[in-house]
Amino acid sequence: MSRPSQIGPYRIIEKLGRGRHATVYKAARPDLDRPVALKVLRDYDQATLEKFEREARLSKRLKIPGVRRTYEAGRTREGQIFLAMAYVDASLKEVIRRHGRAFTRDEAVRLLEPVAQALDAIHQQGLVHLDVKPENILVSGDGRAVLADFGVTRRQGELTTEGTPRYMSPEQATGDRPVSPQSDVYSLGVVIYEMLTGRPPFQSERDDVLMRQHVQDDPPAPRDLNPRIDRAAARTLLSALNKVPHERPISAGALLRELAVAHSTPITIAVDVVRERPQVALIPAGVLAAAALVFFLARPPRPPSASPSPSTLDETTGAPTAVLTTTLTPALSPSTPAPETGTPTSTKATPTEPTSTPRPETATPTRPPASP
């Protein structure tokens, strides 16, 4: 199938990816001075449409640092349903592949700090993301990470088996325990485990096997896969992967603070982001830099700034400082006929913004995990 040249007001530049029910394009709009990521729904049924609407509604609501911004959502005259979002250079999955080696603890903490703050803010609103994975963490050319894709987000306390098996929590795998902030802490722990060891804790080509492993199996000791991981970091990783939710760190911010303990060896951060761009390098530092990092993580995130012109984009994240006026609600109201339906949606999320940000809580797991 040939790539369309125009979808609504958006001129298509290139196709970025294709999932089960949607295609994502890099596109341009005349009144925006930077490209957008345009997610276009296809082959969908009512359940998929409802999921898409939920993603659009939540991503527009969560206007905080660390969450990818949404510009608008709607339906074209031809019936194509779309979601226009800030274009970000690469996913963490690509960054990991291009990095070429395991990340150090400090590299991982610095890169994921805004994502942890975003998760804590989402949890403060009573929500759980439920699909934290490298494909849904996007990294800009200057090394800033944002969280994306709210298609399977749920209220805390619900039962669900939605998510991505390689990164989902045991309670998602079984669907018999309510999801909570600790469900996202577990998934973030899987992501950090992969960054520090070079592989996820559980590996299989079969989703049912991966889900069973999350429920029943102990992950390999991190130091067995990468002896350069210090023992304190290894213990923190295993606590995040505890099968029992209340035994995990109390929040995403707490998980990163436990990882960001003081150390005495110099560090150098170099994150290769995307497409022949120069590496982002930070100055080597010792104990003083690590202590400053702990202070930085403990401070409350900045509140969102006032919105200027709708066509203005944030210079650092590529995100708009205001949301365009077109919304999904009228375009996808029950009175609007939808295109013919196609293949039913699956319960597994595919790759693809709260109004205040809380001060991250400080806590540690109530029971230490087995020795790494």
pLDDT given at position 54: 87
Q: Which residues pair with 337 in a beta bridge?
A: none
Strands of the sheet containing 70-75, edge to edge, are 6-7, 10-18, 22-28, 36-41, 81-86, 70-75
Stretches in the chain below the pLDDT threshold 70: 1-2, 262-372
Q: Would you kindly state where each structural domain of the chain is located, as residue ranges? A: 6-88+303-331, 90-298
The amino acid at 260: A
d(CA 140, CA 165): 26
pLDDT given at position 47: 86
Cβ neighbors of 132 (< 8 A, separation 6 or more) are: 115, 119, 147, 167, 184, 187, 188, 191
Radius of gyration of the chain (CA): 20
Cβ neighbors of 161 (< 8 A, separation 6 or more) are: 172, 173, 174, 175, 347
d(CA 343, CA 190): 31
pLDDT given at position 231: 94
pLDDT given at position 1: 56
Q: Confirm whether 131 is a catalytic residue.
A: yes
d(CA 111, CA 255): 14
Catalytic residue chosen out of the listed positions 89, 106, 120, 131: 131
Residue 290 CB neighbours (<10 A): 20
Identify the sign of the CA torsion 176, 182, 188, 189: negative
d(CA 317, CA 113): 15
* Full 3-state SS string of the chain: CCCCCEECCEEEEEEEEECCCEEEEEEECCCCCCCEEEEEECCCCHHHHHHHHHHHHHHHHCCCCCECCEEEEEECCCCCEEEEEECCCEEHHHHHHHHCCCCCHHHHHHHHHHHHHHHHHHHHCCEECCCCCHHHEEECCCCCEEECCCCCCEECCCCCCCECCCCCCHHHHHCCCCCCHHHHHHHHHHHHHHHHHCCCCCCCCCHHHHHHHHHHCCCCCHHHHCCCCCHHHHHHHHHHCCCCHHHCCCCHHHHHHHHCCCCCCCECCEECCCCCCCCEECCCECHHHHHHHHHHHHCCCCCCCCCCCCCCECCCCCCECCCCCCCHHHHCCCCCCCCCCCCCCCCECCCCCCCCCCCCCCCCCCCCCCCC
Instruction: Please give the model's pTM, rounded to 2 decimal places.
Output: 0.71
d(CA 355, CA 362): 22
Q: What tokens were used for 126?
A: 């009573």
- CATH number for the domain whose boundaries are 6-88+303-331: 3.30.200.20
Burial (Cβ within 10 Å: 0-12, 13-18, ≥19) of residue 17: middle
CATH superfamily of 90-298: Transferase(Phosphotransferase) domain 1 (1.10.510.10)
pLDDT given at position 19: 82
d(CA 212, CA 4): 41
Lookup result for tokens 């803010």: 121
pLDDT given at position 284: 44
Burial letters for 58-81: b for 16+ Cβ neighbours within 10 Å, e otherwise? bbbbbbbbbbbbbbbbbbeeeebb
